[in-house]
Structure 1
Amino acid sequence: MKNLALLPFLLLVISLLAPGCRKDAKFTDEAGIELDISKDTVMFDTLFTTVGSVTKRFVARNPNQNAVRVNIALEGGSPSPFRINVDGATGTSFTGVEILGGDSIFIFVEATLDHTSATNPFVIEDHIRFSTNGTEQEVLLVAWGRNAHFYRPNQAIQGLPPFSYIAGGYDENGNQICETVTWGGDLPYVIYGYGVVDSCCTLIIEPGVDVYVHNGGGLWVYRHGQIKANGDIGQPITFQGDRLEPYYAEVPGQWDRIWLNEGPEGHSNEFTHVLIKNALVGIQCENVPWLPDEATSAQKLVLNSVRIRNCSAAGILSRNYAIEASNLLVGDCGQYGVALTGGGNYTFEHFTIANYWNYEIRQTPAFYMNNVYADINSTLQVREVAGRFQNGIVHGANANEFQLEFNNLSLPTALTFDHSLLRTEMSTSNSPYFPNPGTVYRNQSPAFVDVAGRNMHIGQGSYARGRATPSFILPLFSPWDLDGVARGDNGAYDLGCYQYVP
C-alpha cells in the first residue's frame, strides 16, 4: 500500500522532468552539419499498379554532440505515388524535426502506383529532402511499376471461397453465359480470391503470359469447364504468387492452387511449357466433392513440359481423374510431389519427381498412389486405378520416396511401372505392378547436376543414362526432353525429363 501511495508523486516527477530534457537540449545552428542517413536509395521492385507496396524504412542519425532541427519534405508532394512517415507522423512536409545529439529518427516509405497505358515495366522516382542548417541532403525513391489485368472477387456463395468469373457466370436474366476467353501476353494477370472458369466455358492462355495469384487465391476450372494453357519453349506460361520482391522468388505457399474438376471425354485440360511455383498445391484435379459417387473423370489433364516446384503441400494432387504427362518435373514439395488417390487412369512418360524439401522434416514420399479416399459423407470409397509409368525418376532426400498403398477390395489389374529409377523401400520383384523388374532400378543414383541449386539435369555419372526405352507411349511429346533436346541423338535414351547433354 505504501508503494501505491508513492505512485502519484512519481508520475508528477516524471511529467516535470520529461519536458525538461527537451528544453535543456542544446541546439546548434552551425553550418555544414550533415546527418548520417542509412540509405541513399529506397527501391521498390516491382509493383503492380493500384496495389500498395510493403513498408520500407531507413534511419537519419544526428552524429553531432548538439541537437539539430531538420526540415524534411517529399519532393513530389501530395501527387507523389510515395507516402512517408517521419517518426510516427504522416505527411509530405515536416518542419523543425528535432534530433538530439547522437540520436536518430525513423522514416517509413510506401508506394502505390497509378494505372497507366504502358505495357512494359516502367519506373517512377521521387526524393525525400533533408535540410539541416542550410545543408541539403536527399534520398532517392524508386519504384518499378507494371500494369496488369486484375480479377477481384465479386461473388460469394456460402461454403466456397470468394471468387470472380474469368469466363462464364450469368447475364441479367439469369441465363448462364457460355464463352471462350483468351488471355494474351500484353499484360500479366493478377487474381485475388479465386478466378473461375465456369461450365461450358474455356480459358485459353497464350504463350508468354504471366499469371500472379494473391495470398489464398487460385484458379478454378469448374466441372465441364476447360483450360488450355499452351506456351512454347521460348515463351513459357508462369503461375506464381504476386509478391515480386526478390526475397519471395522461391518461397512456397504464397497462393492456394489450380483446381480442376471433371468433364467430358475429348475436352482435355492442357498445360504445355508451363511453370507453376510457390503454391500450396500446384494442380489439384478431382471430381467436385459434393458429388461423391461420380465416376472417374473422362476429361484428361494433359501435361507436356511442365515444371512444378516449391509447393508447401503437393505438386500434383489427383483424385478420380485421368492424367497424361510427359517431360514433367516436380520438385520440392512439403508433403508429396505427386499424390494420385482414389480412382484414376494415368499415363506418365519421361518424368522426374525429385523432392529435396528442406523447410522442415518431411515424412511423406515424393510419389504416392492409393485407391481409396473418404468422401464428403465420410464414406470410404474404393476405386479402380489403371496406369502406365515409364522412363521416370523418383528420388529425394528420404529413404522411401515411392509408395503404393492399395485396398484389397479392388486391387489394380492394369497398372505397371517399368524403365524407372526409384528410391524406395518397397520390393519391386514378384509384383504385378513391376512386370519387368530388371528395368526397375531401385536406389541407384540419378546424379543430378546440382541438388542444392535445384538443377535436376542428369550428370555424366547418372545411372539414368541409357536406360530408357525408345518405345514411346506418348509419341507426340516424348521424342524431345524438357529443354527441347532430341532424345536418342547420342545413341542413348535417358530416364527422366532431361536427356543427358555433355
Structure 2
Amino acid sequence: MRIFYNIIILFFIIGFVSCRDDFNFEPSSGSELAFSKDTVYLDTIFSNIGSSTYNLKVYNKSNKDIKIPSIRLSKGESSNFRLMVDGMAGKSFENVELLANDSMFIFVETTVDIKQQTNGKEFLYTDEILFQSGSQQQKVNLVTLVKDAVFLYPQKFQDGSYESLNFGDVQIYGFFLDENDAVNGNELEWTNDKPYVIYGYAAVPPNKILTITEGAEVHFHRNSGLVTFSDAAINANGSIENPIVFQGDRLEPSFEDTPGQWDGIWISQDSDASFSNVIIKNAIDGLFINKNKLPVNLNNLQVYNCEKNGLLLQVAHVTGTNIVTNNCGVAALNINYGGTYDFIHCTFANYWSRLNQTAVIINNGDGTNEFALQARFKNSIIYGNASESLLLVPANKETNFSFTFEYSLIKFLNSANRFNTESFPYQFTNNTYYTNSLIAKTFNEHQPYFFNTSKNELMITDKATSLINFGNAAYAQQVPQDLLGKSRLTSADLGAYQHVNSSAD
C-alpha cells in the first residue's frame, strides 16, 4: 500500500511540474531590468596587460520569465573589453534568458594597447554594455585607466629557452640591464617619464651603476626583483615631494597593502647602493644587503608590508637616517650575521597582525671575527604590537657583539619573565649598552601614540609626551630635518618624524 501511495505522489509531482509555465520566456520590454551599478570601474592597468575580472549584476525585477533580445558592447568586436554572459565568452549575445525575480552576473575584463589609442602616458578607455529590449535600450558604462610603461623582461631564445642569471650553481629567471638596448635604450637610467614593469630579476651588471631619478615608479611581477652583481651599484635618489616607489604590478586597490607580491631588492656581495626618499612596499624581503663593499646610505627610506623582513642585513655596512618600517612578517629590521650599522632618527615599528614577529632582531652568527657586530641606534624608536620589540641573539655573550641604544625608545615587556634583564644583553640599566634610553615595560608606558599604524602613518603625536624633545641635540644636527622635511634642530623628537597633532585630518 505504501508503494502505491508513493507512486501516486510521484505522478502528482510530475503533473504539477509539467503544468508550470516558468520556462515560457517572454521578450523583455526593458522595464524589467535593473543593474547593481550604472558604471563598472575597472582599476588602472598597464598597456597590454590584462585586467582583473569585474562583475555586474543584472536583475529581473518582474514576476515573469524574460528573454533579453540583445546584450552587446557598443564598440562591437573592436572593443578592448571582454564579457562573460551566462557562462559564454564574447562581445555580443542574443536571447539571454532570465527567470522571474532572478539575477545573473556579467563578468568584464580588458586588455588595451595604449599605442593604438593615444600618444600620451595614460588615458581613460571607455565603452558601454547595451541591453536592447524592443524599442528600449539600457546601458552600463565601462571605464578603465590605462598607463603606458617600460617593460623589462628576459629575452626568449630561438630554442624556446629564456635568458637567465647565474648565482653560483643556481640559475634564476632574469636578465642584465643593457645601456644600449635596441628597444628601451639605456636601461641603466630609470626616469619618471613612464612606470617600469619588471618580469624576472633585473640585474645591474658588474662595474655598472643603475641610476633612478625622483618620482620613478617601479613595479615588479610575482617572483621578480632587482639585484646587483659584483662592483655594481644602485643610486636611487628621490625627493620628499616625489619619492621613488618600488612595489608590485597589481594596481587594484585590494592589492595596495598586500605583502609578498614580489621578491625584493638585493644588494649582493661587493656591490653598493644609495637610497634617499624611497618607498619599498609589498615585497617578501624589502631590501636585502649582503656583505657590501662601501657603506650603503639609507635616508628617508620607508619599507612597508613585507611578507618576511623589511630590511634584511647580512654582514653589511649601513648608515641609516629617517628610516620608517611597518607590517613585516618576521622583523622590520633583521640584522643577520653581524656587520657595522649606524642608525639615527629611525622608527623601526612593526604592527604585523599575526604572531611570531618583532621590530628588530640582531645576531652575530657563530660569534667569530668574520661576523663581528657593531650596531648603534640613536634618537630612534623600536616598537610594535609584539611584547618584546627587540631580540638580541649573541653567540658568545659580549664577544664580537657590540651595540648601543642612545636616547631611544624600546618596547620590552618581558612577558612571563622569559628574559634575564639582570645580565647581558638585556641589562637595561647598563649605560654601556643603553644610554639615556626609554624602556617601555608595560603597554601604557612611553607609548608613541603613532598617528595611524594601519595606514603606515608612523608619526608620533602630541600625546607621546615622553618622546617629544627627548632626542639628543648633537645627533639631531646630523639629521636636521625629519622625513617630511620639518626641522628638528630646536626640538628633537624620537624617531623619523617630528610629532604631529593627534587630531589632525
Q: Residues 347 and 32 (structure 1 numbering): CA distance in 2 closer, same or farther, change over 3 Å?
A: closer
**3-state DSSP class of the match of 1:208?**
coil
Counterpart of 2:473?
470
- Partner residue in 1 for 2:358: 365
Residue number among 255, 279, 282 corresponding to 2:283 in the alignment: 279
- Of 23, 46, 49, the residue aligned with 1:48 is 46
Per-residue deviation, 1:327: 0.6
Cα distance per residue 1:397-428 (max 9 Å; x no partner): 12211121111188236432211111124647
**Structure 2 residue ranges without an equivalent (≥5):** 1-10, 156-162, 441-445
For 1:150, what is the secondary structure of its paired residue? Answer: strand
* Unaligned segments of structure 1, at least 5 residues: 1-12, 172-178, 287-295, 375-379
The residue that corresponds to 2:406 in the other structure is 418
- How far apart are the structure 2 equivalents of 1:467 and 1:255? 38
Query: Structure 1 residues 28 and 280, CA, compared in 2 at 3 Å: closer, same or farther?
Result: same
1:252 is the counterpart of 2:259? yes
In 2, Cα distance between the equivalents of 1:21 and 1:112? 47
SS in 2 for 1:161: strand
1:263 maps to 270
Q: Distance in 1 between matches of 2:136 and 2:467?
A: 68
State the distance in 2 between where 1:134 and 1:403 align.
Answer: 73
Match of 2:133 in 1: 132
Residue 435 in 1 paired to residue 423 in 2?
A: no
- Determine the C-alpha separation between the residues in 2 that align with 1:308 and 1:407: 28
Amino acid at match of 2:473: P
Structure 1 residue 31: Cα displacement? 4.2
Take 2:145 and 2:102, find their aligned partners in 1: how far apart are those partners?
33
Structure 1 CA distance, aligned partners of 2:188 and 2:363? 36
Cα distance between partner residues in 2 of 1:488 and 1:448: 22
**How far apart are 1:32 and its partner, in Å?**
5.2
Which among 340, 346, 351 is matched to residue 346 of structure 2?
351
Corresponding residue for 1:483? 484
1:439 to 1:41, Cα distance in 2 relative to 1, 3 A: same
Seen in structure 2, the aligned counterparts of structure 1 residues 180 and 186 have a Cα distance that, compared at 3 Å, is closer
User: TM (normalized to structure 1)?
Assistant: 0.84
Determine if contact 1:224/1:261 at 8 Å carries over to the other structure: no
**8 A Cα contact 1:370 1:404, kept in partner:** yes
Report if the CA contact (8 A) 2:345-2:496 is conserved: yes
Residue number among 243, 258, 265 corresponding to 2:250 in the alignment: 243
The 5 A counterparts of 1:96-495 are 96-116=95-115, 118-154=119-155, 155-156=163-164, 159-167=170-178, 181-263=188-270, 268-286=272-290, 296-358=291-353, 360-361=354-355, 363-372=356-365, 383-408=371-396, 411-412=399-400, 414-424=402-412, 425=414, 427=421, 434-435=431-432, 437-443=434-440, 444-462=446-464, 463-472=466-475, 475=478, 478-489=479-490, 492-495=491-494
- Name the count of aligned residue pairs: 457
Contact preservation (8 Å) 1:382, 1:407: no
Please point out which of 23, 42, 62 is paired with 1:25: 23
Q: For 1:439, give the aligned amino acid.
A: N
State how far apart, in whole Å, the 2-side matches of 1:167 and 1:474 are.
Answer: 41
With over 3 angstroms needed to count, the CA separation of the structure-2 counterparts of 1:69 and 1:373, relative to structure 1, is: farther
CA RMSD of aligned residues (A): 3.0
Residues 21 and 219 of structure 1: CA distance in aligned 2, closer, same or farther (over 3 Å): farther
3-state SS of paired residue (2:380): strand
More moved, 73-82 vs 447-456:
447-456
Counterpart Cα distance in 2 of 1:488 and 1:252: 36
Task: Determine helix, strand or coil for the equivalent of 2:407.
Answer: strand
